[in-house]
Amino acid sequence: MLIPSPLLFVPLAIASLQDAPPAASTPPTSTVAAPAEKTAEQTASPELVGQLASELGVSARQAEGTAGALFGVAKGRLAAADFAKVAAAVPNMDGLLAAVPAAAGKSSAVDALAAKAGGASGMLAAATALSKLGLKPETIAKAAPALVKIVQSKGGAEIGALLAGALK
């Protein structure tokens, strides 16, 4: 009885591999490229964002999100009339508030409740947002004082004091 040699099957296997379509050498087209980094001029409030980015040593996108997160805390903690005074000193406040990265896994209702609650939950939400922006803890610690200083230079001592009080 003849037993076929394994060497007879090797050429057949090689031939079948040669007929197989070549593997794709390019990455799939479904990958999404990261968006280009914003410049300060492309942000909601270019002057404020530029100053904050410079003060903290962060990108314009990070500074814009930082300002929005901290103004969101202030909005939740201040009376509407007081926040209106702060907002009047800051061009395009609505754009800054919209620049805050969404919290993963939370609904907008939970985010809205945390923002309205102010207090520790508001600062926790802001710290989470700043962390999502890639800010280091030491930069996060400098963010509120830097923002207060910038807003005070634009709106005066009363506006700076309102914001500082809200961000304590």
Q: Which domains does the chain have, with CATH numbers?
A: 40-166 (1.10.490)
Q: Which position has the token pair 């004082």?
A: 145
Residue type, 149: K
Q: Are 167 and 120 in contact (CB under 8 A)?
A: no
Written as tens digits, the pLDDT of the chain (168 aa) is 555 544 444 444 444 444 545 555 444 444 444 455 667 677 778 899 999 999 999 999 999 999 999 999 999 999 999 999 999 999 899 999 988 877 544 444 444 444 444 455 677 888 888 888 899 999 999 999 999 999 999 999 999 999 999 998
CA angle 86, 90, 92 (to 5 degrees): 120
Half-sphere exposure of 71 (CA within 13 A, CB side): 31
Task: Give the predicted TM-score (pTM) of the model.
Answer: 0.68
CA distance 133 to 149: 21
Residue type, 140: I
